[in-house]
Structure 1
Amino acid sequence: MIVRNTIKLIIGLLAVFVTLAPLRAQQRDSIRFSLLTCAPGSEIYELFGHTALRYQNLTRGTDVVFNYGMFSFNTPNFVYRFVKGETDYQLGITPYTYFETEYALRGSAVYQQELNLTAAEKETLLGLLEENYRPENRIYRYNYFYDNCTTRARDQIEKSIRGKVVYPEGLPEKSFRSIVHEFTAQSPWDEFGIDLCLGAEADRPIDNRLQMFAPFYMRYFASEAYIVNEDGTKRPLVAKETKIVDVEPESVPGFPLTPLMGASLFLALNALVAWWQWRRKRILWGWDILLYGAQGLAGCIVAYLFFVSSHPTVGSNWLLILFNPLPLLYLPRMVYCDIKRKKDRFHVVNIVYLTLFIAIFPFSPQEFNLTVLPLALSLLVNTVSHVLVWNKKE
């Protein structure tokens, strides 16, 4: 009797296993992972687009987005921490419908690349993402070139694959700055601000892996990549691509004055002030406060990024030659000489200094924004006017 019952139990368990096995296989087959690439928005932190991972379990009705780009402006000292390079981002999980609606309302298209992963690789990727989402792991130190929402998603995909991902060769003669310029072309003021911060390191050629910091570059490389399996066979990384949010961005008129136009007008204004000073044989000390105060304040920012900030590429900024705190420190003495109508040797030295900077401008290892040239000429015109006024008095 015991033997008969045991046999029945074994047969029953086998029947259950045989019944559930196809269901398990079906459940594994119903899991899909996709790389999402979102078109740029109008805010400065949206200019380069965005990358996220979509997880679908069709059997369970699960459809969520793993997003490494979550941050909060309400974080204490956010601006200071951002400038210093200590911005913390985190992994968030959002229902796909919310994610889709957000980008549709923003006017940003979203492209989906379904990943060509095996059932085991999908399970591994899900485990990696769940591990990353644990409270002690979800926050990470953001780095806009080397460790961002795009590189994090790519790295998790690569870790899950049983084999090796082979990407196409990188696009030739690309640097961090040249890629940034591709996405800031319609936002010249944002481009100018970024160029003031980036140093010579941003102009070095970068390989395909470093080019993947930009979401749309990652999309391109993923579409051309293939996986070399452990047995040597190959398969494409992306099974198919679709445009899942098909919208056109709203045309928002930009500020009509570009930085180069503004700097050129500022140069003309300095020339007018210089002519007035020479004609009247008087120095407008209030104009010196405005001009050299602005130069010194800009220099404080550049110097802080150069010496203190942990952001990449800012520690090699040759603009420190032009924009540094020294004019701000010397400004009280300069204004004193202006008011007392005393000769100030600072301007003689400054003429030589600014002339040398303008002379090396085309040959610098760093690509300067062209707006810097009329700004440097403005300073030169002003300092020359001081010397001309003294000579005229004598």
Structure 2
Amino acid sequence: MAGARRSLASRHFRSDDVFPMKLIFAGCLLAALAPSLASAQIRPPSAERPPGPRMTTPAEPGSELTITLLTMGVGEEVWEQFGHNALWFHVERPPSLGGPVDVVYNWGIFDSSQPYFIPHFLQGRMLYSMGGYPYEQTLTDYRMRDRAVWAQELDLTNAQKVQLRDFVIWNSRPENANYRYDYYLDNCSTRVRDAIDRVLGGVIRATFSGRRSTYTYRSETLRLTQRQALLATGIDIGLGRPSDHQLTAYEEMFLPMRLRDYVRELRVSDGHGGARPLVKSERMLLGTITHVEPNAPPHWTPLFLTIGVLIAVGFAVVGSRAARGSTGARFAAGMLFSVWSFAAGMLGVILALLWGVTDHHFAHRNENLLLFNPIWLALAVLAPMTAVKGRAARVTRWFTFLLAALGVLALLLHATGLSRESNMEIIALALPPMAAIAWAVHRGTGHAPARQV
């Protein structure tokens, strides 16, 4: 057998010998495949046998997820001036299962038609909720409002993605969706921050809680509302001493844009003793033309002082003419002093109620009550009585001096460093008119016998 194998191996074939053998081999192969080819031509498509199961490695849970932090810039409406943010979940699925899914979850939903909305708003007890919306619908909405949108893809592990997804699904259930809203401590941005920090094991809090910033709740609020000067001034008057607390970087994240900036620099463990950026990639989805975020809070003290001095000069001129006996000037003085006193008194009532009976913690301990307080309401009645008819002059003088003294006290608290409230611009606005009213009443009644009612 060995010799036979050697003889076969050593045999040389000519080309004309190989060609007939190829024909024979091809004919045998064709004969073997012929039944299959014939049956394939006559079998209907519906009778095709499905392919067998593929031997594939199952994907790790979470590998199909991409989670992105969306940050929406400032807008036109009052509630849009602080920005917004959300978590965008992209689920990769094959076409056979319906294709990719994109849902955006946010914690900034409120319903003005809910029962007792206005009373709850005034009391500081508003209910907000969270929910999910289609990604394209969300982007279309912000495009129509000309608001910028940034997208930061988070470099989370698959396990962290699953944990965050499960938490958001649990949170979106009707029994879990509502929460007690606080505009600084518990809002749409702090909820997003805490959801991310939950799966990171507290890295955000640990990294940024000890870092002090130069901002306060008041300064950040005025920075973002300064384009509406009357609104910003009203907020400035309504905020008390707690709003002047110097913020940590962690507390600053009550603003979506600050959360975006700090997340951008955050590094987390890579599981191998090193660190990696939390943000895998960043891009701007939408730009804006009309709504650009202000960079710094306004410095209104010189402007407010100018306005206050101009009002004071007007009060002094009218009061001086009234003291000289001009009937028209007396009526004008009575009307002007009464209008100012009524406005200051009603503002004082609001400030007192905010402090005394509401849960607006950041309106408590408000030193602006030294400038605007309910005592002014008494002067709103007394001022025209004294200016026009000369009645109750002594009582009117006493009230004007008391109110002016309270204004001076507010100034002295700042001058001596005893005040921790940043309200110098409000003092600059209110104190000059207060002093002018006191001077005008003293000048008009100080040299004439008072006719008591």
TM-score (norm 2): 0.75
Aligned-partner Cα distance in 2 for 1:172–1:312: 22
Structure 2 partner of 1:390: 445
* Secondary structure, aligned partner of 1:65: strand
1:218 to 259, 269, 274: 259
1:171 positional shift: 5.5
Identify which range, 178-187 or 294-303, moves more after superposition: 178-187
1:123 to 121, 140, 162: 162
For the structure 1 residues 272 and 76, does the alpha-carbon distance in structure 2 shift closer, same or farther, using more than 3 Å as the test? farther
Structural mapping, 1:189-228, within 5 Å: 189-228=230-269
Q: Which has the higher contact order (CA 8 A, sep 6+)?
A: 1
Aligned-partner Cα distance in 1 for 2:321–2:311: 15
Aligned-partner Cα distance in 2 for 1:146–1:65: 23
Quote the sequence identity (%): 27
* Secondary structure, aligned partner of 1:54: strand
Aligned-partner Cα distance in 1 for 2:413–2:200: 50
Aligned-partner Cα distance in 1 for 2:251–2:215: 10
Give the aligned residue type for 1:227. Answer: V
Structure 1 partner of 2:88: 54
1:272 positional shift: 3.2
1:38 to 72, 75, 94: 72
Structure 2 partner of 1:8: none
* Secondary structure, aligned partner of 2:112: coil
1:232 positional shift: 4.6
* Secondary structure, aligned partner of 1:370: helix
* Secondary structure, aligned partner of 2:214: coil
Aligned-partner Cα distance in 1 for 2:107–2:368: 33
Structural mapping, 1:1-394, within 5 Å: 18-19=55-56, 21-22=57-58, 24-25=59-60, 28-59=62-93, 60-161=99-200, 164-165=203-204, 167=207, 170=211, 172-228=213-269, 232-249=273-290, 260=304, 263=308, 265-280=310-325, 282=330, 284-329=333-378, 331-333=380-382, 335-338=384-387, 339-343=389-393, 344=395, 345-362=398-415, 363=417, 364-368=419-423, 370-393=425-448
5+ residue gaps in structure 2?
A: 1-51, 94-98, 293-299
Give the aligned residue type for 1:57. Answer: V
| Aligned-residue RMSD, C-alpha | 2.7
Asked if the contact 1:167–1:221 (Cα under 8 Å) also holds between the matched residues in 2, the reply is no
1:51 positional shift: 1.2
1:83 positional shift: 2.6
Q: Which structure has the bigger radius of gyration? A: 2
5+ residue gaps in structure 1?
A: 1-14, 252-257
Aligned-partner Cα distance in 1 for 2:250–2:309: 39
* Secondary structure, aligned partner of 1:206: strand
Could you give the per-residue CA deviations for residues 342-382 of structure 1, whole angstroms, max 9, x where no partner exists?
Answer: 32232333343333334445543211151442322112211
TM-score (norm 1): 0.85
1:311 positional shift: 1.9
Asked if the contact 2:320–2:444 (Cα under 8 Å) also holds between the matched residues in 1, the reply is no
Aligned-partner Cα distance in 2 for 1:29–1:229: 17
